[in-house]
Structure 1
Amino acid sequence: MALSAGALESVVSPTIPLLERELGMSQSEGALLSIVLLITGALITPLAGRFGDRYGGKRVLVQLMAVVAVGGTVSALAPNLPVLLLGQVLQGAMVGALPLSFIVVRNNLPPGESKVAIGVVSGLFVGGGMVGMLSAGPVAEELSRHWMFALPTIAVAGATLLVNRLMPADPPSGSDDAGLDWPGLLLLSGMLVTLMLVLALAPEAGSQPGVLGALVVLLAVFAVGWVSVERRAASPVIDPRLLARPAIRTACVLTFVICLGTSMAVYLVPQLFDERGDGYGFGAGATEIGFFLLPGAVAATLAGPLGGIGDRRFGSRAVVGTGVVMMTVSLVALAAVHTEVWHLVVGKALIALANGLCVTAMMTGTATAVDAEDTGVATSLILVSRVLGYAVGGQLGGALLTAATPPGSDVAAESAYVTGFAIAAVVTSLALFVARTLPEGVEE
Structure 2
Amino acid sequence: MVVLCGCGVTVSLMHTLVAPLLPEISHTMNLSQDAAAWLLTVTMLAGAVCAPVCGRLGDMVGKRRMLAVALAIMSVGSLLGALSWSFGSLLGARLLQGAAFGVLPLGISILKDELPEDRVMAGTATMSSTLGVGGAIGMPLAGVIAQALDWHAVFWAATAVSLLALALVLVFVPESPVRSGGRFDVLGALGLGAGLVTLLLAVSQGGAWGWGSPATIGLFAGSAVVLSLWAVHQLRVRQPLVDLRTSTRPVVLLTNTATVLVGVGMFASFMLTPLTLQASTATGHGFGVSVMVAGLCMVPMGLGMLFFSPLSAKLSARRGAHVTLLVGALVMVVGNVAQALRPGNIPLLMVVLMVLSIGTALCFSAMPTLIMAWVPATETASANSLNSLLRTIGTSTCAAVGGTFLAAYTIRVDGEVVPAAGGFSVTYWMAAAASLAAAGLALAVTAVIRRSARTTAEETDAVTTTADLAVQ
TM-score by length of 1: 0.81
Q: Which residue matches 2:431?
A: 424
Q: 1:183 maps to which residue?
A: 187
User: 317-326 vs 11-20, which deviates more?
Assistant: 11-20
The alignment's C-alpha RMSD in Å is: 4.1
Alignment of 1:412 with 2:419, yes or no, is yes
The verdict on how the C-alpha distance between 1:310 and 1:124 changes in structure 2, with shifts beyond 3 A counting, is closer
Alignment of structure 1 residues 23-38 onto 2, 5 Å = 23=26, 26=33, 30=37, 37=43
Q: Distance in 2 between matches of 1:332 and 1:264?
A: 11
User: Which residue is 2:148 aligned to?
Assistant: 142
One-letter amino acid matched to 1:311: S
- Give the secondary structure class of the aligned counterpart of 1:438: helix
Partner of 1:411, secondary structure, is: strand
Map of 2:285 onto structure 1? 280
**Contact 2:109-2:384 within 8 A present in 1 as well:** no
Tell me if structure 2 keeps the 8 A contact 1:136–1:290: no
Contact conserved, 1:71 with 1:90, CA < 8 A, in 2?
A: yes
Alpha carbons 2:55, 2:383 under 8 Å: kept: no
Corresponding position of 1:383:
388
Deviation per CA, 1:216-255, whole angstroms, max 9, x where unpaired?
A: 2211222212211211122222223334422222112211
- The alpha-carbon deviation at position 12 of structure 1 amounts to 5.5
- More moved, 355-364 vs 122-131: 122-131
Confirm whether residue 363 of structure 1 aligns to residue 363 of structure 2. no
**Match for residue 197 of structure 2 among 193, 201, 204:** 193
User: Per the alignment, do residues 105 and 378 of structure 1 end up closer, same or farther by CA in structure 2, a change over 3 Å counting?
Assistant: closer
**Which of 185, 208, 230 is the matching residue for 1:226?**
230
Q: How far apart are the structure 1 equivalents of 2:435 and 2:35?
A: 22
Partner of 2:354: 349
Q: Are 1:259 and 2:259 matched, yes or no?
A: no
What aligned pairs does 1:286-365 form with structure 2 within 5 A after superposition? 286-365=291-370
2:69 is aligned with what amino acid? Q
3-state secondary structure, aligned to 1:252: helix
Partners of 1:68 and 1:333 lie apart in 2 by 38
Contact 2:53–2:189 at 8 Å: present in 1 too?
Answer: no
| Alignment correspondent of 2:459 | none
CA distance in 1, matches of 2:10, 2:173: 25
Superposed displacement of residue 139, structure 1? 1.0
Deviations 1:285-334 (A, max 9, x none): 33222311111111221343322221221234432232222111111111
Whole-angstrom CA distance in 2 between matches of 1:389 and 1:332: 19
Aligned to 1:19: 22
Counterpart residue identity of residue 318, structure 1: V
Q: Distance in 1 between matches of 2:103 and 2:19?
A: 25
For residue 253 of structure 2, what is the amino acid of its counterpart? Answer: R
1:367-403 Cα deviation digits (max 9, x unpaired): 2234444544443442332222122112222332344
Q: Which has the larger radius of gyration?
A: 2
Relative to structure 1, is the Cα distance of residues 161 and 436 closer, same or farther in structure 2, using a 3 angstrom cutoff? closer
1:370–1:12 CA distance, 2 compared to 1 (3 A): closer
Q: Which runs of 5+ in 2 are unaligned?
A: 454-472
How far is the alpha carbon of 1:432 from its aligned partner? 3.1
SS state at 1:176 partner: coil
The alpha-carbon distance between structure 1 residues 321 and 103, as it changes in their structure 2 partners (threshold 3 A), is closer
Classify 1:230/1:416 alpha carbon distance in 2 versus 1 (closer, same or farther; 3 Å).
same
Structure 2 counterpart of 1:255, one-letter code: T
Instruction: Output the CA distance in 2 between the equivalents of 1:397 and 1:168.
Output: 40
Conserved 8 A contact 1:139-1:145: yes
Deviation string, structure 1 residues 323-353 (Cα, Å, up to 9, x no partner) = 2221111111111123322233222222222
Separation (CA, whole Å) in 2 of partners of 1:209 and 1:124:
38
Match of 2:444 among 425, 429, 437: 437
Residue 101 and residue 266 in structure 1: after superposition, are their counterparts in 2 closer, same or farther (change >3 A)? closer
Distance 1:122 1:337, change over 3 A: closer
For residues 263 and 276 of structure 1, the distance between their equivalents in structure 2, rounded to whole angstroms, comes to 22
Contact in 2 for aligned 1:238/1:380 (Cα 8 Å): no
Q: Which moved more, 1:415-424 or 1:83-92?
A: 83-92
Q: Are 1:66 and 2:72 an aligned pair?
A: yes
Q: Which moved more, 1:206-215 or 1:134-143?
A: 206-215
Cα distance change of structure 1 residues 161 and 254 upon mapping to structure 2, 3 Å threshold: closer
- Deviation of 1:185 (Å): 1.7
Q: Work out whether residues 64 and 110 of structure 2, in 8 Å CA contact, stay in contact via their aligned partners in 1.
A: yes
How many residues of Structure 1 are paired with residues of Structure 2 in the alignment?
Answer: 439
- Using the TM superposition, give the Cα deviation of residue 68 of structure 1 relative to its aligned residue in structure 2, in angstroms: 0.6
1:205 and 1:54 map into 2 onto residues whose CA distance is: 40
What's the TM-score once normalised by structure 2's chain length? Answer: 0.77
Identity of aligned residues (%): 26
Deviation of 1:417 after TM superposition, in Å, equals: 0.9
Taking the aligned partners of 1:375 and 1:399, their CA distance within structure 2 comes to: 36
Amino acid at match of 2:424: Y
CA 88–409 in structure 1, closer or farther in 2 if over 3 Å, else same: farther
Does structure 2 retain, via aligned residues, the 8 Å contact 1:7–1:130?
Answer: no
Matched, 1:239 2:243: yes
Contact 2:263 2:391 in 1 (8 A): yes
The CA distance in 2 between the partners of 1:102 and 1:431, in whole Å, is 22
The answer to whether the 8 Å contact 1:334/1:347 transfers is yes
- Aligned-residue offset at 1:284: 2.9
TM-fit CA distance, 1:273 = 1.9
Displacement after TM superposition at 1:174 (Å): 6.9
In the alignment, which residue of structure 2 is the partner of 1:48? 54
Structure 2 vs 1, CA of residues 418 and 316 (structure 1 numbering), >3 Å: closer, same or farther? same
Q: Tell me the distance in 2 between the aligned counterparts of 1:325 and 1:418.
A: 19
Matched AA of 1:228: V
| One-letter amino acid matched to 2:237 | A
Local SS of the residue matching 2:358: helix
Question: More deviation in 379-388 or 244-253?
Answer: 379-388
